Amino acid sequence: MLAFPTSTALGSGNVGLAAEVTAAEIASIVMSAAPGVVAAVVDGALRLRTVATGAGASLQVLAASSLDERLGLDNVVHTGSSGGVVNALRVEGKDPGSYANRLEVEVRAPTSGDPGTFDLAVIEDGAYREVFADLSMSRTSARFVETIVNASRGGSALVRVVDQAVPGSPGLNVQTVGLTGGNDGLVGLQDGDFIGSEIAKTGIRALDAVQDLSLLLVPGRATAAVHNAMVTYCESVREGLVFAILDPPAGMGARRSASTPSRNGSSSCRTELLCALKSETLLMLGLMSKAVRSPAIPRRRSANARPSLPASGLVSR
């Protein structure tokens, strides 16, 4: 015969139900039970570190723990290091594209001379464009680097910064770092990507909804297929009211381009030589209707361009 206790039996653990405990609750328990250990939840995961630094600091989750596997924690002894360069601040181009590959960020001594602060300058093609003075890596500071540089008003027009959450809010070393890795997303595009589809409204046909279009340009794509599609679009779809500016084919100089015939049978448009700069450098051939053209509008980005990436760099402490 089974003899169950009549009173409530309490477990020996420090949580009520392991299946329902949260990472934040575990972090609180760890910091209460293990002095010298800092526990935090980062992107939904538990992160542990020691207050002490250097080669003498160590941290280990014991194998006797009941939640280590579920939390993704190993039982290896992790030791600190004697020091070295640590990436403390990530700097990115504010918008995607290769433009930011021309940028550099310069960390220099603070204008105010206050300890723990620094000035951050943004350099474009060797020229200083922006300077942010007396910044701090401390999130509690009114001059916290993310707050100042990323501000919608008064912040940088060229870059944004991301604090890498290095313990201790370190100051930054004086240094200059160039941004790299920016990508316009244009690698691998074919003629069909520029010509596009009337049904899907991609490529040139993405401009169908633009009523006040007056100029059509496809820079750097001087193929017969793209040129013919541009001419057809201007003559037929836009009824001769849009002006097409065609890049000369690769390796073709000004004289030869000027003698290149236009499409046969064109009645609504005429071929016109717009300009030739330095004879062999740039030639712009256009097809212009006889109607009065409206003022040009800024060039629009192709709707089917490949995803692009911002340039970035890491600033160390």
Is residue 140 within 8 A of residue 172, CB to CB? The reply is: no
Sequence length of the chain is 317
Per the prediction, the chain carries an average pLDDT of 76
Q: How many helices (H) and strands (E) does the chain have?
A: 5, 15
156 vs 20, residue with greater confidence: 156
Q: In the prediction, which pLDDT does 311 show?
A: 65
Classify residue 48 by its DSSP letter: E
Q: In the prediction, which pLDDT does 6 show?
A: 74
- DSSP per-residue string spanning 84-104: ---EEEEEEESSSBGGGGGEE
> 196, 231, 213: which is closest to 299 by C-alpha?
213
d(CA 107, CA 110): 9
Region of residue 248 (phi > 0: left; psi between -120 and 50: alpha; otherwise: beta): beta
**Could you tell me the two tokens for 186?**
């244009």
Mean pLDDT of 277-282: 32
pLDDT tens column, 50-99: 877 777 788 888 888 776 777 778 888 888 766 667 788 999 999 888 88
Above 90 in pLDDT, residue 151?
Answer: yes
pLDDT tens column, 243-262: 999 888 766 655 555 555 44
Model's pTM, two decimal places? 0.48
> 219, 230, 223: which is closest to 196 by C-alpha?
230
- Where does residue 62 rank: exposed (0-12), middle (13-18), buried (19+ CB within 10 A)? exposed
